[in-house]
Each structure stands twice: as C-alpha cells, then as structure tokens.
Structure 1
Amino acid sequence: MKKLLIGFYLLIIIGIIVCLSNSDIFASKNSQAIAAGEKLYNKNCLICHGKTGKGEGPYAGTALNNQHFLSTVSDKDLFNYVKFGREGTSMPAYDSRLSDKDLHNLVAFIRDWQNKEIEFDIPKTILGDSVNGEKQYNLYCLNCHGEAGAGKVKMGTVLSNSHYLEYTTDQQIWITTAYGREETRMGPSLKSLEGARQLSEKDITDIVSYIRTLKPIKETPNDYLKP
C-alpha cells in the first residue's frame, strides 16, 4: 500500500512538471510569435494604423489597439481582415505577400495589445426594420460613414465594402454602433451610455438591418485612398 501511494505521488509530481514545462514552451513560442509579428507590423501596417496601433499613422487606418475592437473580434477575424484586406480601399490583401505563419504572428502581436475582455449586452436576435434603420443612419451615421456607407477619410469605415460585409457579423456591427470604440471618433450610441446619441436597442438593430441592405461595392471613391 505504501509503495502504491509513493507511486501515485510520483505520477502527480511528474504531471505537474510536464504541465509547467509545456506552459513555459507555450509562453516562449507565443513571445517569439509576438516579436516576429511586431517586425511585420512595423514594416507593413504602421504607416496606416500607427506606431501604437491607435490609427495615428499618416494614412487612414483603423484603430486596432482598442479594447472595444479587440473584445469583439476573434483571432480568425483578425487573420481574415489582414489576409483578404478591404478591396477598393487603402487596406490591401496580404494573402500574396505574407505566409499563413506570418499572418498568425501578426495576429499574435495585435492580440497582445488586449489587456481586458469587455462583455457586451446585446440582443439575442438582430433582425429589425431596415426602413427605420435608414432614417436613423442618415440622422446619426451618415456624417462619418458617408451616404449608403461609402465611408469618409479618417472619419468613418466604408460599411458598404464587400469584404466588410462578408467578414463582419451582425453582432459585431451592433456592438460597435451601440458601444463605440474608446479613444476614437466612434462614440457610444446606446441609450444610458455617455454618448452624444441616445438610441434604443431597437433603433440600433434597425441600423444594422439597414447596413445589411447596402449593395456591396468593390471600389471606393479615390479620396478614401488619400492620406
């Protein structure tokens, strides 16, 4: 019996050592991926998205170092955004420039900016009235995102872009509209939040439904490509 107990404890100790060892290996690999991703970011992304990732580059670029944004997207989302780009905008597709390994390293670097995970309260079903959504959009969103989601330089994302519509879920659009993105022009819109707009959940759902009716475009006005 004593030998069995000793053997049992030895197995536990060995298991702990293996787990700690695997954890160290994972941490090391992740650190290597982040370091490699930083080099790729500085070479390919910094000019638009900025040195700190807050969209402060000389050319128009989304703020990636943003806790609201990072809490709404998965690593797969980030991978697809970079790989396929946004056709017709200054965000090119990198599938022919970077390997999948490079893309994963770049995602690891961007994800390392996330220091908290924000939980959002969103409707279970996002299906609204697109007619009312268009009215609300024209009142509150058109000034930055342009007519029919065409976008404006350093003001608002091109919502009618085919890649945006394909790789962005209704939930992600709803969250961004309702909660905004801190430290950017995109303030919160949901009623009771500290934003200039005070829209109901239904209004925001209607806006998302309207955005889904936009005709996907592959080309964006040339002024969107200018710094």
Structure 2
Amino acid sequence: MKLLKLIFILILFIDLKVYADKNDQLLTQGKALYNQHCVMCHGASGAGDGPVGSNLSKKIPPFKKYSDKQIIDILNGGKRDVMPDYRTTLTAEQKEAIAKYINSL
C-alpha cells in the first residue's frame, strides 16, 4: 500500500512539473508575441500607454482581468477602427500564449 501511495505521489509530482514547464513556455512565448504585436499600443504593463496607443484620439483603457477565452475572442475580432483582427495572423496556440501572458501582468 505504501508503494502505491509513493507511486501516486511521484506521478502527481511529474504531472505538476510537466504542467509548470508548459505554462512557463506559454508565458515566454506570450511575452515575445505581446512585445511583437501589442506593446506598441498597450504598453509594457498593459496600461494603454505604448508609443502608438498614447497618441490615439481614443484612450486605450488598462487591461482588466479577462478570462483567457475572452482575450482570445478579442484577438479574433479586433476592435473596430482601433485594433486589428488577429484571427488569421496568429495561431490558436499563439493567442493562448498571449492571453496567459496578459493575465500574468
């Protein structure tokens, strides 16, 4: 019985390690993509104070806490006359990575 518990704990630990590694990879990828596609308007911290965003006639509001799905929906649809549609520009994994990074800010 003790052996089964030990095996279960080891499996759980390995699963958590794999999840943490995948999450770290997504955050790293998300940061790079955010810096490539988003930082110029939204700024480094998501405050809407990027070099382009601060010069728009309509102020970009700071990021709120949205779910990853809500952020992906925004990336897919863009914002009329302000933010481009990234539906075909970014892959599903890239949009997921950006969403995770935004929620880590």
Q: TM-score range by the shorter chain?
A: 0.7 to 0.9
Please state if 1:47 is matched with 2:47. no
Aligned counterpart in structure 2 of residue 96 of structure 1, from 88, 92, 100: 88
- 1:120-166 per-position Cα deviation (integer Å, ceiling 9, x unaligned): xxxxxxxxxxxxxxxxxxxxxxxxxxxxxxxxxxxxxxxxxxxxxxx
User: What pairs up with 1:159-170 in 2 under 5 angstroms?
Assistant: none
TM-score normalised by L of structure 2: 0.88
Q: Which amino acid in 1 is paired with 2:30?
A: G
Q: Which has the higher contact order (CA 8 A, sep 6+)?
A: 2
Q: Which amino acid in 2 is paired with 1:83?
A: N
- 1:45-82 per-position Cα deviation (integer Å, ceiling 9, x unaligned): 00100012111112333312xxxx21xx2111011011
- Structure 1 or 2: larger helix share? 2
- 1:161-220 per-position Cα deviation (integer Å, ceiling 9, x unaligned): xxxxxxxxxxxxxxxxxxxxxxxxxxxxxxxxxxxxxxxxxxxxxxxxxxxxxxxxxxxx
Q: Which amino acid in 1 is paired with 2:82?
A: S
Task: State the alpha-carbon separation in 2 of the partners of residues 78 and 55 from structure 1.
Answer: 15
Aligned counterpart in structure 2 of residue 107 of structure 1, from 77, 85, 99: 99
Equivalent residue for 1:17?
A: 10
- 1:70-102 per-position Cα deviation (integer Å, ceiling 9, x unaligned): 1xx211101101121112x22111001101111
User: What pairs up with 1:1-227 in 2 under 5 angstroms?
Assistant: 8-60=1-53, 61-64=60-63, 69-70=64-65, 73-87=66-80, 89-113=81-105
Equivalent position SS for 2:47: coil
Q: Which amino acid in 2 is paired with 1:44?
A: H
Q: Which runs of 4+ in 1 moved over 6 A?
A: none
Equivalent residue for 2:57?
A: none
Q: CA RMSD for the aligned pairs?
A: 1.1
The alignment covers a number of residue pairs equal to 99
Task: State the alpha-carbon separation in 2 of the partners of residues 98 and 10 from structure 1.
Answer: 46
Task: State the alpha-carbon separation in 1 of the partners of residues 100 and 71 from structure 2.
Answer: 10
TM-score normalised by L of structure 1: 0.42
Kindly, what percent of the aligned residue pairs are identical? 29
Structure 1 residue 25, shift from structure 2 partner: 0.6
Unmatched runs of 5 consecutive residues or more in structure 2: 54-59
Task: State the alpha-carbon separation in 2 of the partners of residues 40 and 96 from structure 1.
Answer: 15
Q: Which amino acid in 2 is paired with 1:55?
A: G
Task: State the alpha-carbon separation in 2 of the partners of residues 40 and 74 from structure 1.
Answer: 18
Unmatched runs of 5 consecutive residues or more in structure 1: 1-7, 114-227
